[in-house]
Structure 1
Amino acid sequence: MEETTGFPALVDTCEFVYMYGMIAGKLARTFVRIAFAACMLLPFAAAQASELVMFEQAGCIYCQRWDRSVGTLYDKTDEARLLPLRRVDIRDQKMSGVVLASPVRFTPTFVVVDNGREIGRITGYSNDDAFWGLLDTFAAKLAPSSQVNRT
């Protein structure tokens, strides 16, 4: 007479748990890889339209001056409709998703971007007239058939 024990059932259970753990581990690693790839590509997806990227840093007095003079009304202008403003810390410029002509070294620096590439740059801020004049020049490159008017 053959003895029967619960041991074969236990072996089957252990094999099932082991296989389930292997599959779950592979799925988890795949999910992490997909999430990482999505996070790496997100800045590039955001930078595909025309935009104005402001590179700034904490404590920059010229950034603060721009905020007081221009920043409070920028969102209400025609330029903002053509070039929405996106702020990036100067230390994060590699993660900005913008192909820069050269590294940004000073703040504030305003980079006019079209389809992820720099088409113009305003380095520094001296006054609002100079800023608007330079920005209008770059905006005209993007929309040559329409005049950009600030109200």
Structure 2
Amino acid sequence: MYALALAPALALALVLALVLAPGVRAAELVMYEQAGCVWCAKFNAEIAPAYAKTEAGERAPLRRVDIHEPIPADLADIPVERFTPTFVLVEDGTEIDRIRGYPGDEFFWHLLDTMLARLPESP
């Protein structure tokens, strides 16, 4: 009985350890954006609702960063442009590739596939 009560706590501890372990970071697609950006809004309407449900979204989850807010410490080595949106594929704190601007839904998926192909294969 005691073991059953302890199981959820152990499962939570394992998940937290995996998520917070240093050096264990998956790829992510960082979207640098700003309020009032028409092309950001277009991306939000055409791509964002489905992105997380796609294979690309699972491999590189979308992370949004407002260019007018402090840049997170883990992205300090990634150059920030003032042109928005800018999409930067990052893995382990290193930039893999970027898309400057939003080229429309069909071109976006094609460019993203090209970027994702540059990632090392998942173990």
Select the structure of larger CA radius of gyration: 1
Tell me by how many angstroms 1:57 deviates: 0.5
- Quote the residue 2:90 is aligned against: 113
Aligned position for 1:71: 48
Q: Provide the aligned length of Structure 1 versus Structure 2.
A: 100
Q: Deviating runs (4+, > 6 A) in structure 1?
A: none
Change (3 A) 1:53 1:46: farther
Counterpart in 2 of 1:141?
Answer: 118
Report the alpha carbon displacement of residue 51 of structure 1 after superposing the two structures with TM. 0.3
TM-score, scaled relative to structure 1? 0.60
Q: 1:128 to 1:143 in 2, by over 3 A?
A: farther
Counterpart position of 1:123: 100
Question: What amino acid does structure 2 have at the position aligned with 1:123?
Answer: R
Match of 2:27 among 36, 42, 50: 50
Q: Say whether residues 1:81 and 2:58 are aligned partners.
A: yes
Q: When the two structures are superposed, what TM-score results if normalisation uses the length of structure 2?
A: 0.72
Q: 1:131 to 1:141 in 2, by over 3 A?
A: same
Supply the distance in 1 between the matched residues of 2:24 and 2:81 (Cα, whole angstroms).
Answer: 17
Structure 2 equivalent of residue 104 of structure 1: 81
Structure 2: where are the runs of 5+ without partners?
A: 1-21
Q: Is the 8 A contact 2:25 2:91 kept in 1?
A: yes
Sort the Cα spacing of 1:56 and 1:120 in 2 relative to 1 into closer, same or farther, 3 A: same
